[in-house]
Structure 1
Amino acid sequence: MKIIDWYILKRFLVTFLFTLLILIPIAIAIDIAEKIDNFLEHTELTFYQVVDEYYINFIIYYANTFMPLALFIAVIFFTSKLSNNTEIIAITNAKISFTRFLYPYFIGATLITIISLLMNHFVVPNSSTERKKFEREYVNSSRQKNELKYVKEFSLQLTDSTYIFIRNYNTQSNSGYDFTSEVYDGLKLKSKLMATRFSYNTKDSTFILSNWRKRIIYDDRDSIFSGKKIDTVFNFTPKDLIYKSALSQEMPSDELLDFIEISKNRGVKNLNAYLVELHKRTSMPIASYILTIIAVALAFRKRRGGTGVNLAMGIGIMFLYVFLMKIAEVLGGVAGVNSLIYVWIPNIIFGILALYLYLNARK
């Protein structure tokens, strides 16, 4: 690398870190203002506990979330300064093409992309587990807690031939009522197990069925058995009963992939909320390259109004990207659509914009 490359790369990374360090305290201040009443309601909650269990994980999550925004603002800011100080004129007079000028920018974007990918797929999910556990305990309303506490009218396909049906289940007490398990041979019912109440024993991973009744269907007769209590094993756990998109944020990508595969085999029809989260973990970091090209192309030439005009344009474009990303997430979570395409639509649209600006700037 030449001296000019090291100079640009250093300015790139320093400005990026500076921008990120500005955004994080703002996010913390807004969050404290929003949640201070919840913290004060719990007298047993200490300052150290709030920082250790919540805000450290909060910083990890939002530092990763703000990376594309910080990168975009940083590139526009320091490239505009290069342009206003006529440093870019000197670079172009040295017959360095716009494509060659992008070389250190892409090195910086690659470093940030690699860090973001690792955080998205492994670090942030583990951190989110602790953060959301704290929120469920001290921040969420009783209604939000009940949404995760109770499961109603739930069905699940365990194998090609086994199905279960649950009327109501309490994930906190690990107990419920009206449990049914049916085993089929093709379309023909072979056996049916019912229980008025059931509970899950976490120590040995068994289900305890109370007031149970089992019917076995033969070609010429039926056999019926019943009892007050029986211990049995099923190929699922209470965690499988909670299909909330928020839980996908708490799973590392390898665990999330396994969960999606198991759920598909169990006949769960709509897993797009989980697929959106999985695809987003890759699409957002890759957007660093697209946003870098757009930012450099916007700030490459000196404008009347200086850095302020470039920053205003850049922030507007960035928030348009975030807006499209949120719409794509919602539409991608709808049953029956290809979530991969929807998640990547913002990158495709802004990739076309980046190509246009690149070709225009190269002239």
Structure 2
Amino acid sequence: MVTFLFTLLILIPIAIAIDIAEKIDNFLEHQDLGFLQIVDEYYINFIIYYANTFMPLALFIAVILFTSKLSNNTEIIAINNAKISFTRFLLPYFIGATLITLLSLAMNHFVVPSSSKIRKKFELTYIKNKRQNQQFKYVSDFSLQLTDSTYIFIRNFNTQSNAGYDFTSEVYDGLNMKSKLVADNIRYNDKDSSFLLQNWRLRRIYEDKDSIFSGNKIDTVFNFTPKDLIYKSALSQEMPSDELLKFIEISEKRGVKNLNAYLVEFHKRTSLPIASYVLTIIAVALAFRKRRGGTGVNLAIGVGMMFIYVFLLKISEVLGAVAGVNSLVYVWMPNIFFGSIALYLYLNARK
């Protein structure tokens, strides 16, 4: 555990130094931005995010360093001569991996999303350029299914001012339209969760006649908020897991076609911590034999495998976010691949 903390404390300052080098110009552009604000709103949350991300990888390197030291000191030979099985030898490693996995799961599902919300708000305010900020500000040509029979369409909506234009709401009974509400302008009131419609027209359709109503202004309620109009994968990182699951469930009922970006984020919060067990077995199996070249060879092999794991993880995230695929399978694919390697190494190490 001491080696793990030492490895983590090496990785975090490197990540901070690289990030400062990239963003120092953005910080200096804002004269009202102080050092304490940068640390409090950005780098504390930056450390929380990357410390949690690096945990399984830091554990992997720590196990290689620690086990290689045992091997170089011929302590593992003494353990083998004492007839202690390889499975029993792994037990302390798994206790440490379990502690780190539980901590990482708790942070992934509850702590990191809240921290990411503060960090991303800071980035949008002081780091992102205007074009990048616009992607969350304007929504155009958006349609949404509120219930089994109610559909809405908005030509353009500004999520910052909570106002838009060219709004349509249609209610169906099966394939037959029952009513259609059209408004030139729409504005959301956050205080009472109501919508103000301007220059509205309501048409009710009956079997033998239609009724048409119109007016300048009307207050009404719909089963959505401006936040529901923004379907961006980045927002999923800011939601605790219970809120994210509820959001996915509501979005499925509303007929949103592709939610895989959100499902990838949810599944990744569990798959990455569980990888600690897989990486621990691989690291012990690589380092428990004494090699010519010592710790350096084991560390080089371990770092190489670590980069392969991160590479596969990124590929699986991209492929898992594609519509029509099983995101759960793609997110767990790196663990399945490296799990098979871990099983092979474990069975050979037992001999």
Same fold flag (TM > 0.5) = yes
Aligned residues: 351
Q: Does 1:120 find its partner at 2:70? A: no
Output the CA distance in 2 between the equivalents of 1:64 and 1:83.
29
Question: Aligned to 2:33, what secondary structure does the other structure show?
Answer: coil
Output the CA distance in 2 between the equivalents of 1:139 and 1:60.
19
TM-score relative to the length of structure 2 = 0.99
Question: Aligned to 1:213, what secondary structure does the other structure show?
Answer: strand
Output the CA distance in 2 between the equivalents of 1:136 and 1:199.
24
Q: Does 1:211 find its partner at 2:166? A: no
Equivalent positions of 1:307-318 (< 5 A) are 307-318=295-306
Output the CA distance in 1 between the equivalents of 2:228 and 2:81.
63
Equivalent positions of 1:322-337 (< 5 A) are 322-337=310-325
In structure 2, what residue type is equivalent to 1:18?
F
Equivalent positions of 1:351-362 (< 5 A) are 351-362=339-350
Could you tell me which residue of structure 1 aligns to residue 275 of structure 2? Answer: 287
Question: Aligned to 1:160, what secondary structure does the other structure show?
Answer: coil
Q: Does 1:58 find its partner at 2:46? A: yes
Could you tell me which residue of structure 2 aligns to residue 9 of structure 1? Answer: none
Output the CA distance in 1 between the equivalents of 2:6 and 2:78.
26
Q: Does 1:340 find its partner at 2:328? A: yes
In structure 2, what residue type is equivalent to 1:290?
V
1:231 to 194, 219, 224: 219
Output the CA distance in 2 between the equivalents of 1:144 and 1:219.
50
Could you tell me which residue of structure 2 aligns to residue 10 of structure 1? Answer: none
Q: Does 1:90 find its partner at 2:81? A: no
Equivalent positions of 1:178-197 (< 5 A) are 178-197=166-185
Could you tell me which residue of structure 2 aligns to residue 6 of structure 1? Answer: none
Could you tell me which residue of structure 2 aligns to residue 261 of structure 1? Answer: 249
In structure 2, what residue type is equivalent to 1:198?
I
Output the CA distance in 2 between the equivalents of 1:15 and 1:209.
62
Could you tell me which residue of structure 1 aligns to residue 141 of structure 2? Answer: 153
Shift of 1:90: 1.0
Output the CA distance in 2 between the equivalents of 1:203 and 1:40.
37
Output the CA distance in 1 between the equivalents of 2:192 and 2:204.
27
Shift of 1:143: 1.0
Shift of 1:245: 0.2
Q: Does 1:67 find its partner at 2:40? A: no
- Point out 4+ residue stretches in structure 1 off by more than 3 angstroms: none
Output the CA distance in 2 between the equivalents of 1:43 and 1:156.
42
Output the CA distance in 2 between the equivalents of 1:200 and 1:356.
58
Equivalent positions of 1:244-259 (< 5 A) are 244-259=232-247
Q: Where in structure 1 are there 5+ consecutive unaligned residues?
A: 1-12
Could you tell me which residue of structure 1 aligns to residue 260 of structure 2? Answer: 272
2:68 to 77, 80, 84: 80
Question: Aligned to 2:148, what secondary structure does the other structure show?
Answer: coil
Question: Aligned to 2:58, what secondary structure does the other structure show?
Answer: helix
Question: Aligned to 2:84, what secondary structure does the other structure show?
Answer: coil
Question: Aligned to 2:277, what secondary structure does the other structure show?
Answer: helix
Q: Where in structure 2 are there 5+ consecutive unaligned residues?
A: none
Output the CA distance in 1 between the equivalents of 2:103 and 2:162.
39
Output the CA distance in 2 between the equivalents of 1:62 and 1:56.
10
Could you tell me which residue of structure 1 aligns to residue 6 of structure 2? Answer: 18
Question: Aligned to 2:291, what secondary structure does the other structure show?
Answer: coil
Shift of 1:141: 1.1
Shift of 1:142: 0.8
Shift of 1:96: 0.7
Could you tell me which residue of structure 2 aligns to residue 46 of structure 1? Answer: 34
Shift of 1:97: 1.0
Q: Does 1:176 find its partner at 2:164? A: yes
Output the CA distance in 1 between the equivalents of 2:132 and 2:195.
27
